[in-house]
Structure 1
């Protein structure tokens, strides 16, 4: 197989996001609200989740199709037992240029040394406020801010490069934009603001709760002037800005008001082995069945290639243009890791 495949609108397959569990120890309102993902929610049983061996095999197939960057997600990926073992295995795959993980940070202090030892070099931590009361409200009363900050500190101390993601919701935590920007500018970690998205069906999304990219820029710029800087690579999801008086930067992920579908090179595989070609997809393709039915690598490769070759997803563009289907069922973000 050649080094790369293209979809219907000439987007390559370069990034793979692997969910290793659908479980999380937080209940963030915009992702896993408690009233839906409560004690009786039927999370996947262990036999339904891809084994590390299956995950590694699948990753090698994706790499042969052009993937160069792998991100481990969840749920909360650090809940997956022996995760550093998987990181070590994936890190040994030739042509994988970058492995990272997205986490809520609550278990990061414990696992940071093991993750670094396994070969991980980058981690993205979700943190939506520095105020304990608001943070509690947003994460379902599961964690104090200090626990996440301790995780960030531990990760930084062992040598992991840390980025911080903040989902901004109007009326929930938009008053924390400036405090978060100031804190992480001082502590020299890149902060990325994320427009509140209509991922899944359970978060009660409304456009009225979206704080736009432009609003975020204006609020920060009034106090700490910014300048636009070039993306690190084609298809980078965050628009980058540098503080004029510093070499520190922020990013803004604006899939609601400034969609970036045209350069999306990401495939997502859920914990039970379903391939999703868009964060807002309604249906996935069952790769677990192929892995467990004695199909050859070549047969699985051909199937994935065929799926990607037929890919036409551009949900955020369609939403912006008013063309997205109303009341469309979408896979939950907790299932495919954002």
Structure 2
């Protein structure tokens, strides 16, 4: 840990910053954006690339060395490679990645690579076009597969595929997705269905747990070996008998709050220190009002050192667990949406 890194009340450092560059999305995935209408952030409120760069410098001075660009769908932000170029040139930034739904990826992948993007994660919940249409409420499955196919030829390695695994929806495709990942190549990470933000149709009956995923994959492949602990990484990684790997993010049934080192900056400059947090810190207004680097640094330091969030652990303790945020509350405060804060 760098000498100037800060820690919260549970001695967790701040290492990983997720930056949402837009709240807009070109899909309407039923586990994330199931409603008919949304309140979008005013475009004038969005951080400029220069403002994102400045805030990134402040965060890096306090220990952040990994940045992930998210959305919404980040490729809807115009001239995104320009921001990638600004960030990739920063000394000390160890990892610069992006999470995308893949729909526009094939058109932008070469420019992103040329700008210095290090890694790509693509969301893919099914290999079936009909299921994709039902889940995303859009007819874009072919474009997503084209986007995934474009990643390796552009020179990217370390690619990951994120799959939200849901009982009775896509739980019969676990092995198929792993096999597809071999062809990309990409490591598949199965994510337990979480009750955050726009998951207003969440039910515990839809959650396919890590334990059940491992049981099903063991029945298919044979013995599965847990790999060494990767510290603060959200996914636990496993090896199949042939040595190929996959991951599981078990935030719902086995939270990793104890090692969580990540926070989120929305496209309009609200900083959230937990995916379940209902309140954030406005960094845009102080920045635009002329706050100095040291003043911004002090603001972030104070909030992080007071951090005691363990949202997933707290939710796990609830006996009658329901969707976290009701629809009316989401409409009143769009910052609570996962497509706004960057899940």
With structure 2 as the length reference, what TM-score do the two structures score?
A: 0.93
**CA distance in 2 between partners of 1:128 and 1:181 (Å):** 12
The CA distance in 2 between the partners of 1:155 and 1:198, in whole Å, is 31
Q: 1:131: which partner in 2?
A: 128
Question: What's the offset of the Cα at 1:337?
Answer: 1.3
| Root-mean-square deviation over aligned CA pairs | 1.8
Q: Secondary structure at the match of 1:18?
A: strand
Select 1:258's aligned residue among 239, 254, 259: 254
| Map of 2:145 onto structure 1 | 149
Moved more, 274-283 or 133-142: 133-142
* Structure 1 equivalent of residue 307 of structure 2: 311
In structure 2, the gaps of 5 or more residues are 331-335
Q: 1:171 aligns with which of 143, 168, 178?
A: 168
Once the two structures are TM-superposed, the CA of residue 178 in structure 1 deviates from its matched residue by 2.2
Q: Of residues 283, 292, 314 in structure 2, which corresponds to 1:287?
A: 283
Counterpart for residue 339 of structure 2 = 334
Equivalent residue, structure 2, for 1:44: 41
Inter-CA distance 132–326: structure 2 relative to 1 (3 Å threshold): closer
SS at 2:340's partner residue?
A: helix
d(CA) in 1 for partners of 2:238, 2:18: 25
Give the unaligned 5+ runs of structure 1: none
CA gap of 1:277–1:45, structure 2 versus 1, over 3 A, is same
Give, in whole Å, the separation in 1 of the partners of 2:324 and 2:111. 41
Partner residue of 2:226?
A: 228
Q: Is the 8 A contact 2:23 2:40 kept in 1?
A: yes
Q: Please give the alpha-carbon distance, in whole angstroms, between the structure 2 residues aligned to 1:324 and 1:263.
A: 26
Matched, 1:54 2:51: yes
1:152-200 CA deviation, whole Å, 9 max, x = no partner? 1111111112100000111221122222122223443100000000011
How many pairs align?
Answer: 331
Describe the SS at the equivalent of 2:189: strand
Partner of residue 199 from structure 1, selected from 190, 196, 199: 196
SS in structure 2 of the partner of residue 109 of structure 1:
helix
CA contact (8 A) 2:197 2:324 kept: no
Q: CA deviation at 1:203?
A: 2.7
Q: Displacement of 1:336 after TM fit?
A: 1.4
What's the CA shift for 1:202?
4.6
The CA deviation at 1:47 is 0.8
**Do the aligned partners of 1:2 and 1:65 also contact (CA within 8 Å) in 2?**
no
CA distance in 1, matches of 2:149, 2:321: 43
Report the alpha carbon displacement of residue 98 of structure 1 after superposing the two structures with TM: 0.5
Question: Structure 1 pair 256/202, CA: closer, same or farther in 2 (3 Å)?
Answer: closer
- Cα deviation, residue 3, structure 1: 2.0
For 1:105-116, list aligned pairs within 5 A. 105-116=102-113
Question: 2:58 and 2:266 mapped to 1: Cα distance?
Answer: 16
Q: Distance in 2 between matches of 1:123 and 1:22?
A: 19
1:215 to 212, 215, 234: 212
- Which residue does 1:77 correspond to in 2? 74
